[in-house]
């Protein structure tokens, strides 16, 4: 049996530090070894305690969490889980943190929330287990790749991701040309974060990226990101494929769920689809990707070496749902190969 994950909790609020510590301490496989109220205290605690994982508040006095994270990733790379307010400002800062190299994020709970920080302990344990080398990415975003003479076919692309998905999706979608195939994405993310993430992707990528709305027609050159929290994203209407947002219970503990999206794509598009499963905890999307492959779709999975967490892609691969496993930097190009129009016509 492995040793418990050793965690340092950093937050300027004593109440929040106590709540986070209580939630984590309720899991026997997590050991809260210390607390800190600001970046200066946290720096000394990291030197003294050598934690496996740090939970870090975005907004703190003296030095905010984003600035402190940059220093951690430059001077002592380690798994960091960001704790953020569920606001637009909090979302923007958290997305920047995930691009810098934070392992994952959680939202601060609303008053009276029945299960505050519901999956934080699982994220901490996954962070402690990861073999990922935490390094700071380039400060300047890579510009979108220009894909000359790409002719899009008739396929729909469906992508599922979770922990590590912010960086992974940026890496994949920056390979897409402005006339990319219609693409639908479910990324596990707190409810108020997905609009900010869609806007961020839209700035970084050549195609139009938007948060999916109910009834939005799937169009060439557009990418649709499932909104977080309340509904699942599906595709519907074979004669005019479009987004459908449906109210259902969480699936695999998630809403939106990758399995729900992949199931709908398998039923609607069959062989005229490409399914992609990227880095993430758990097994959401594995069964749906298998359904897509059985329906004739092409399927790709991110390989273990380039995953932040090789959970969802591993389960999909073991089920036989993955046609090809590829490193992250090769997935975008492979999607384009699979969706390009044939010379004699279109697929």
Query: 46-105 pLDDT, tens per residue?
Result: 999 999 999 999 888 878 889 999 999 999 999 999 998 877 778 888 899 999 999 999
* Mean pLDDT of the residues in the chain: 90
The reply to whether 141 falls in a domain is no
**Domain boundary at 116, 131, 146, which?**
131
- Is 138 inside a domain boundary? no
- Same domain for 98 and 161, yes or no, is no
From 60, 57, 164, select the one nearest 117 (Cα to Cα).
57
Please confirm, yes or no, whether 88 is among the known catalytic residues. Answer: no
State the angle between helix axes of 165-173 and 194-204 in degrees (0 to 180), rounded to the nearest 10. 30
Which residue among the candidates 57, 104, 259, 284 is catalytic per the annotation?
284
Residue 88 has a pLDDT of 75
Options 161, 162, 242, 257, the catalytic residue: 162
Same domain, 164 and 122: no
> How many C-beta atoms surround the C-beta of residue 78 within 10 A?
18
Band of residue 299 on the pLDDT scale cut at 50, 70, 90: very high
Tell me, yes or no, if the pTM score tops 0.85: yes
Domain assignment present for residue 344? The answer is no
- How many residues in the chain? 347
Residues 46 and 109 in one domain: yes
Q: What is the CATH number of the domain that holds 239?
A: 3.40.50.180
Percent helix / strand / coil, the chain, rounded to 5: 35, 20, 40
Q: Are both 175 and 320 inside the same structural domain?
A: yes
pLDDT over 60 (residue 132): no
198 and 231 in a single domain? The answer is yes
Indicate the pLDDT class of residue 138, thresholds 50, 70 and 90: very low
For residues 210 and 65, membership in a common domain is answered with: no
Q: What is the mean pLDDT of residues 284-304?
A: 98
pLDDT score, position 163: 94
| Collapsed DSSP state (helix, strand, coil) of residue 328 | helix
Tally of structural domains, the chain: 2
Residues in a beta bridge with 243 = 235
Tell me, yes or no, whether 137 lies in a domain.
Answer: no
CA terminus-to-terminus distance, the chain:
51
Of the listed 188, 242, 257, 264, which one is catalytic? 188
> Does residue 347 sit within a domain?
no
Instruction: Please tell me whether residues 280 and 212 are part of one structural domain.
Output: yes
Cα 9 to Cα 25: distance, rounded to the nearest angstrom: 11
If residue 221 lies in a helix (H) or strand (E), which one and from where to where? none
What residue spans of the chain are helical by DSSP H?
14-25, 39-49, 65-75, 88-100, 120-129, 165-173, 194-204, 258-269, 286-294, 312-319, 328-339
283 shares its domain with 180: yes
Q: Domain containing 175: what range?
A: 156-339
94 touches 84 (CB < 8 A): yes
Same domain, 42 and 99: yes
Alpha-carbon distance values, 16 to 83, 92, 108, 128, 281 (Å): 10, 21, 9, 22, 25
- CATH code of residue 84: 3.40.50.2300
Same domain, yes or no, for 198 and 331? yes
Per DSSP, 310 falls in state: B
Are 92 and 196 spatial neighbours (Cβ–Cβ below 8 Å)? yes
Contact 101, 71 (CB under 8 A): no
Q: Do 81 and 171 fall into the same domain?
A: no
Residue 200 in any domain: the answer is yes
- Lowest-confidence segment of 120-134, 197-211, 239-253, 260-274 by average pLDDT: 120-134
* Residue 305: inside a domain: yes
Judge whether 21 counts as a catalytic residue: no
Q: Cα–Cα distance between 152 and 15 in angstroms, integer? A: 54
For the CA atoms of 126, 80, 229, 261, what is the dihedral angle to 10 degrees? -50
Residue at 139 is within a domain = no
* Same domain for 245 and 167: yes
pLDDT the model gives residue 139: 39
């Amino acid at each position: 049996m492995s040793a418990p994950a050793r965690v340092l909790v950093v937050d300027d609020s004593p109440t929040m530090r106590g709540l986070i510590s209580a939630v984590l301490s309720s899991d026997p496989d997590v050991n809260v070894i210390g607390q800190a109220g600001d970046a200066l205290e946290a720096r000394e605690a990291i030197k003294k305690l050598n934690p496996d994982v740090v939970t870090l508040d975005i907004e703190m006095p003296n030095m905010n969490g984003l600035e402190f994270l940059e220093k951690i990733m430059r001077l002592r790379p380690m798994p960091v889980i960001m704790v953020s307010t569920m606001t637009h400002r909090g979302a923007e800062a958290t997305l920047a943190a995930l691009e810098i190299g934070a392992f994952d994020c959680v939202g601060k709970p609303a008053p009276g929330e029945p299960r505050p920080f519901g999956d934080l302990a699982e994220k901490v344990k996954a962070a402690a287990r990861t073999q990922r080398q935490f390094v700071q990415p380039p400060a300047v975003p890579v510009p979108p790749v220009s894909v000359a003479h790409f002719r899009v076919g008739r396929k729909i692309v469906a992508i599922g991701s979770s922990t590590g998905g912010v960086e992974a999706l940026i890496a994949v979608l920056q390979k897409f040309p402005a006339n990319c195939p219609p693409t639908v994405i479910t990324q596990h993310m707190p409810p108020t974060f997905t609009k900010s993430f869609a806007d961020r992707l839209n700035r970084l990528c050549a195609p139009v990226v938007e948060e999916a709305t109910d009834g939005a027609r799937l169009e060439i050159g557009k990418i649709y990101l499932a909104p977080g929290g309340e509904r699942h994203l599906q595709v519907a209407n074979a004669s005019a494929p479009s987004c459908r947002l449906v109210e259902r219970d969480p699936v695999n503990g998630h809403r939106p769920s990758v399995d729900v999206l992949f199931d709908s794509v398998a039923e609607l598009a069959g062989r005229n689809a490409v399914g992609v499963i990227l880095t993430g905890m758990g097994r959401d999307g594995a069964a749906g990707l298998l359904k897509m492959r059985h329906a004739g779709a092409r399927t790709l999975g991110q390989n273990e070496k380039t995953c932040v967490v090789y959970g969802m892609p591993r389960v999909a691969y073991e089920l036989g749902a993955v046609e090809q496993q590829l490193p992250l930097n090769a997935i975008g190009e492979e999607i384009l190969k699979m969706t390009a129009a044939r010379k004699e016509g279109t697929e």
